Amino acid sequence: MSETRFTDQHEWVRLEGDTATVGITKYAAEALGDVVFVELPAKGRKVGAGGEAAVVESVKAASEVYAPVGGEVSEANSALEAAPATVNDDPEGAGWFFKLKGVAPGDFTKLMTQAAYAEFVKGL
Amino acid sequence: MDTPELLHRTLLYALHLELGAKMVPFAGYEMPVQYPAGVLKEHLHTRAHAGLFDVSHMGQAFLSGADPAAALEKLTPADVSGLKEGMQRYGLLLTHQGTIRDDFMFSRLAGEAPLYLVVNAGCKEGDFAYISAELKGAATLTTRNDRALLALQGPEAAKVLERHSPGISDLTFMRVVRASVAGAPAIISRTGYTGEDGFEISIEGADAEKVARALLAEPEVMPIGLGARDSLRLEAGLCLYGHDMDDTIDPVEANLVWSIGKRRKTEGGFAGADIVQDKLLNGVAKKRVGILPEGRAPAREGTEIAWNGRIIGKVTSGGFGPSLNGPLAMGYVESEFAETGTKIELIVRGNRLAAAVAAMPFVPHTYKRK
């Protein structure tokens, strides 16, 4: 059973057990435009909640991707390095950025639910 | 919260919204940064077919007087007097310190005494005040901010424009003519800011929307925003004022010596001439160069450039080139590192990334010279 939550920085995070998969939302991918480069965190790196974890760049600009929850990087989606446009094509699926293990459930439940995020985006 | 800046709109503002543009503040104007196709597709479309740009925010003016060319030569090292009728040329507007106040295009229209000038949007008020004050008594500047300016760029631009302005495809690169386009009187030059063949079309404000719609109705043409305009000009190795040069940079440092007329180099007689002539003779400490990162990571404006760990310069424009399909940049390095092929490092997010000084343009120009 997994659940997806969202941040006001437009990351999504899906929790399965104590492992979280992180990516950027459809809204973020559309706002960024065509993604041409991603920089992913190294496996084993520890990141705190809200810490800089990855970089996503469009033709025009570079943006940070923050870790919505704290944890240790267990995997990065290296397929994005060769095919960064996947972030635009399937931001909330194949376009995931990295996985974190050892995630504290308290970090996760603080984040916005799908409904709350939809409401948040509507207000932007 | 910041106080919202009062932004101007071009005459095509409503059309941009209708086309679904994302509008952003630029040089005091609300401008389309991209349309729904997005920067990447707009860029590639321009290189493959034709793109229409609204550049009406740029400053247009006429300089008249007994000898406007001789007058203008007081402020630019370009050869203005030697410009033949029906020709356009690129020039630098200099400060009295010999630094670059702006870059601009000037034209001598056939059978007309006044020179036609186009300057950068962000500089136009300052430029026009400077030109008027400096040339007082010798020439009179008439600003034409009421006119619109469109750019039609790309390999199919000539074919498209020919349908609306018969005979225009005979015009060659850097030539300018008064002609009619879609029934509207226009000043058309075969120039642009993309490295592609193309045209810049100055029209009366009242005709702006009619002409833009006529060109957009052609199947080859897509509207192009400022995002792709920037990536196109960067691939073409063309400077963006305020980034790749400004009033702290001189023409020699900016690697724009080619825009200084041969006669002017020796004769001088322009603002800051002594300083520029000294730099031409004795060289400069830093130079503008092209840069190609070896990896995929773009190095943005402000990125530090190093050599063996020592900082030797800074990136002034950098990003991703859609046609190049890779990162590219331009910036300033200490002159001893300005040679093409020199291995350098770019400090991106604390990492030293391998790169090399590269020749520009990054993507070959396709101007129609003859």
Whether B298 and A58 lie within 8 Å, measured CB to CB: no
DSSP per residue over B39-51, as a string? HHHHHHHHHHSEE
Q: Does A30 touch chain B (CB under 8 A)?
A: no
Q: Does B38 touch chain A (CB under 8 A)?
A: yes
- Per-residue pLDDT reduced to its tens digit, B211-246: 999 999 999 999 999 999 999 999 999 999 999 999
Amino acid at B187: I
Whether B188 contacts B231, CB under 8 Å: no
- Per-residue pLDDT reduced to its tens digit, A25-51: 999 999 999 999 999 999 999 999 999
Residue B370 placed within a domain: no
Residues B214 and B158 occupy one common structural domain: yes
Burial class (CB in 10 A: 0-12, 13-18, 19+), B117: buried
Q: Does B320 touch chain A (CB under 8 A)?
A: yes
Cβ contacts of B320 on chain A, cutoff 8 Å: 36-37, 57-59
Cα distance from A37 to chain B (closest Cα, Å)? Answer: 6
At A86 the three-state DSSP class reads helix
Residue B84 placed within a domain: yes
Amino acid at B14: A
Main-chain phi, psi angles of B37, to 5 degrees: -60, -35
DSSP per residue over B184-212, as a string? EEEEEES--SSSSSEEEEEE-GGGHHHHH
Residues B35 and B182 occupy one common structural domain: yes
Which domain does B340 fall in, by range? 257-358
Residues B294 and B268 occupy one common structural domain: yes
Whether A59 and B41 lie within 8 Å, measured CB to CB: no
Residue of B40, B300, B349 lying closest to A34 (CB–CB): B40
Cβ contacts of B231 on chain A, cutoff 8 Å: 59-60
- Domain containing B275 — which CATH number? 2.40.30.110
- Domain containing B84 — which CATH number? 3.30.70.1400
Main-chain phi, psi angles of B356, to 5 degrees: -140, 150
Residues B173 and B212 occupy one common structural domain: yes
- CB pairs < 8 Å spanning A and B: 45
So what's the ipTM on this one? Answer: 0.89
Residues B51 and B160 occupy one common structural domain: yes
Gap between the Cα atoms of B216 and B218, Å rounded: 5
Q: Does A57 touch chain B (CB under 8 A)?
A: yes
Q: Does A55 touch chain B (CB under 8 A)?
A: yes
Cα distance from B38 to chain A (closest Cα, Å)? Answer: 6
pLDDT of residue A14: 97
Burial class (CB in 10 A: 0-12, 13-18, 19+), B309: exposed
Cβ contacts of B327 on chain A, cutoff 8 Å: 37
Say if strands B50-54 and B221-223 run parallel, antiparallel, or are unpaired. Answer: parallel
Gap between the Cα atoms of A100 and B234, Å rounded: 38
> Which of A59, A65, A89 to mutate to probe the B interface, most B CBs <10 Å?
A59
Whether B320 and A57 lie within 8 Å, measured CB to CB: yes
pLDDT of residue A50: 95
Cβ contacts of A33 on chain B, cutoff 8 Å: 34, 38-40, 227
Whether A43 contacts A78, CB under 8 Å: no
Whether B96 contacts B274, CB under 8 Å: no
Length of chain A: 124
Whether A36 and B298 lie within 8 Å, measured CB to CB: yes
Buried b (16+ CB within 10 A) or exposed e, A2-12: eebbbbeebbb
> Which of B26, B320, B328 to mutate to probe the A interface, most A CBs <10 Å?
B320
Cβ contacts of A57 on chain B, cutoff 8 Å: 297-298, 320
Q: Does B349 touch chain A (CB under 8 A)?
A: yes
At B282 the three-state DSSP class reads helix
pLDDT of residue A1: 63
Residue B247 placed within a domain: no
Q: Does B297 touch chain A (CB under 8 A)?
A: yes
Domain positions in chain A are 3-104+111-117
Q: Does B286 touch chain A (CB under 8 A)?
A: no
Residue of A33, A39, A59 lying closest to B297 (CB–CB): A39
Residues B191 and B215 occupy one common structural domain: yes
Give percent of chain A above pLDDT 70: 99
Q: Which residue of A has its CA nearest to B226?
A: A60
Question: Tokens standing for B331?
Answer: 């910036």
pLDDT of residue B5: 64
Cβ contacts of A81 on chain B, cutoff 8 Å: 296
Q: Does A79 touch chain B (CB under 8 A)?
A: no
Residue of B34, B297, B300 lying closest to A33 (CB–CB): B34
CA distances to B52, B82, B222 from B47, in Å? 12, 33, 11
Mean pLDDT of B242-261: 98
Residue of B296, B320, B349 lying closest to A59 (CB–CB): B320
Residue B366 placed within a domain: no
Mean pLDDT of B128-153: 97
Nearest to B303 by CA among B352, B253, B367: B352
Sign of the CA dihedral running A31, A34, A35, A37: negative
Residue B91 has pLDDT above 80, yes or no: yes
Residues β-bridged to residue B11: none
Whether B300 and A61 lie within 8 Å, measured CB to CB: yes
Residue B3 has pLDDT above 60, yes or no: no
Residues β-bridged to residue B243: none
Gap between the Cα atoms of B353 and B330, Å rounded: 15
Q: Does A36 touch chain B (CB under 8 A)?
A: yes
Q: What is the CA radius of gyration of chain B?
A: 20
Q: Which residue of B has its CA nearest to A39?
A: B297
Residue B301 placed within a domain: yes
Domain boundary among B99, B133, B167: B133
Residues B123 and B49 occupy one common structural domain: no
pLDDT of residue B4: 57
Residues B306 and B261 occupy one common structural domain: yes
Residues B262 and B354 occupy one common structural domain: yes
Residues B222 and B269 occupy one common structural domain: no
- At the top level of CATH, the class of A3-104+111-117 is mainly beta
Gap between the Cα atoms of B30 and B42, Å rounded: 19
Gap between the Cα atoms of B268 and B264, Å rounded: 5
Residue B1 has pLDDT above 70, yes or no: no
Residue B268 placed within a domain: yes
- Per-residue pLDDT reduced to its tens digit, B31-56: 999 999 999 999 999 999 999 999 99
Instruction: Give the list of residues 6+ apart from residue B247 with CB closer than 8 angstroms, or none.
Output: B95, B97, B99, B100, B101
> How many domains does the structure of chain B reveal?
3
Gap between the Cα atoms of A34 and B185, Å rounded: 38
- If pLDDT is split at 50, 70 and 90, which confidence band does A60 have? confident
CA distances to A16, B48, B276, B336 from B333, in Å? 50, 33, 19, 8
Gap between the Cα atoms of B327 and B358, Å rounded: 12
Q: Does A62 touch chain B (CB under 8 A)?
A: yes
Q: Does A45 touch chain B (CB under 8 A)?
A: no
Residue B140 placed within a domain: no
